[in-house]
Amino acid sequence: STTGGDGDDNVDVAGAKSIYMVSDGTGWTVEHSVSAALGQFDHCLVDRGCPVNTHLFSGIDDVERLMEIVRQAAKDGAMLVYTLADPSMADSARQASKLWGIPSTDVLGPITEAIASHLGVVPSGLPRGAPGRSFPLTDEYFRRIEAIEFTIKQDDGALPQNLQKADIVLTGVSRTGKTPLSIYISQKGYKVANVPIVMGVELPKSLFEVDPEKVFGLTINPLVLQTIRKARAKSLGFSEETRSNYSEMDYVRDDLEHAGRIFAQNPVWPVIEVTGKAIEETAAVVLRLYNDRKQRCSMPRISKRY
């Protein structure tokens, strides 16, 4: 329930409370954490009982700008949430907030300290992008970019001859979210291909030739699918006729039943219910299953090495 995107010129709602978020880096970590925490207040955010404005200040690596932001936060009656790698900057944020009487929360410090004593290593205190920190062009970096580029090229059933090169293949009817899901997963370093299931269109042979353990079916509640298709047809400016066919309930049901039969014929493919799930939630389910199948661990997990 954010506005995001277009950068609201006029973001301050009367009576809205403000959250100031400050980072010496990109700000994406603090934004992610605040956004998750705000999920705990959906019941009042949604009906506008307690609208909230967030303001993200990124790349803040000098104490003067930090102080200016804290002062402004105090004026706005805002709270402060920050990630500042330099301990003296983090201290300044804490102390200035106290001085100006605003609540403040350090998102990075507690985890960093816990990891430091776990590893027995002193943290660098250097923000990302600090001079002297060089960004290594690691294999991981190249692999991730390759995964994204692969995934874009395979979108919407393109290049079915390459399915075997994919780590993960998603399949389902139109508007089950295959494209955004593929993209989300690709950014985690997996090559994803997606293959649409369309009545009257033969599926590529290669879909049935690849390792079935990497194929995932997507399904969705017909009413929700209809809603999404109506919105889609409208935004694409489909003609009345195409539109009614594409999003008509009988057609929607037939489409899902047709996909259901294909899924039944391929029982190794897990079928994931996407109704009511955000893209990143479906991604979590896919990657959990994918990793379980690879690792066959007693306790399902996704592991990485740093």
User: Which residues ranging from 128 to 187 are in contact with Mg ion (CB under 5 A)?
Assistant: 156, 178-179
Using CB under 6 A as the binding rule, whether residue 69 contacts ligand AMP is answered as no
Nearer to ligand AMP, 108 or 252 (CB): 108
- The span of 197-205, 208-216, 259-267, 276-284 binding a second copy (CB under 8 A) equals 276-284
Q: Distance between CA 58 and CA 248 in Å, rounded?
A: 46
Q: Distance between CA 193 and CA 36 in Å, rounded?
A: 29
Nearest 5°: phi and psi at 256?
A: -70, -35
Smallest separation (angstroms) from a second copy to the CB of 168: 10
**Site for a second copy (CB under 8 A): which residue of 88, 129, 223, 264?**
129
**Run of H or E including 18:** strand 17-23
**Of 1-60, which residues contact ligand AMP (CB under 6 A)?**
23-29, 36, 39-40, 42
Nearer to a second copy, 52 or 159 (CB): 52
**Site for a second copy (CB under 8 A): which residue of 67, 224, 262, 271?**
224
Residue 147 binding target from Mg ion, ligand AMP, a second copy, none, CB below 5 to 8 Å by type: a second copy
For the chain, the residue count is 306
Q: Checking DSSP bridges between strand 168-172 and strand 104-106, what pairing results, if any?
A: unpaired
Nearer to Mg ion, 113 or 156 (CB): 156
**Of 47-106, which residues contact a second copy (CB under 8 A)?**
49-59, 65, 68-69, 72, 79, 81, 83, 85, 103-105
Burial (CB < 10 A; 0-12, 13-18, 19+), residue 106, is buried
Residue 267 binding target from ligand AMP, Mg ion, a second copy, none, CB below 5 to 8 Å by type: none
Cβ distance 166 to 150 under 8 Å? yes
Structure-derived torsion over alpha carbons of residues 14, 16, 19, 25, reported in degrees to the nearest 10: -60
Q: Distance between CA 65 and CA 60 in Å, rounded?
A: 7
Nearer to Mg ion, 178 or 191 (CB): 178
Residue 1 binding target from ligand AMP, a second copy, Mg ion, none, CB below 5 to 8 Å by type: a second copy
Residue 247 binding target from a second copy, ligand AMP, Mg ion, none, CB below 5 to 8 Å by type: none
Amino acid code (one letter) for 116:
A
DSSP type of residue 41: G
SS3 at position 38: helix
SS3 at position 93: helix
Number of Cβ atoms within 10 Å of the Cβ of 5: 6
Taking CB atoms, the residue at the shortest distance from Mg ion is 179
Taking CB atoms, the residue at the shortest distance from ligand AMP is 39
Residues that bind ligand AMP (CB under 6 A): 23-29, 36, 39-40, 42, 83-85, 108, 126-128
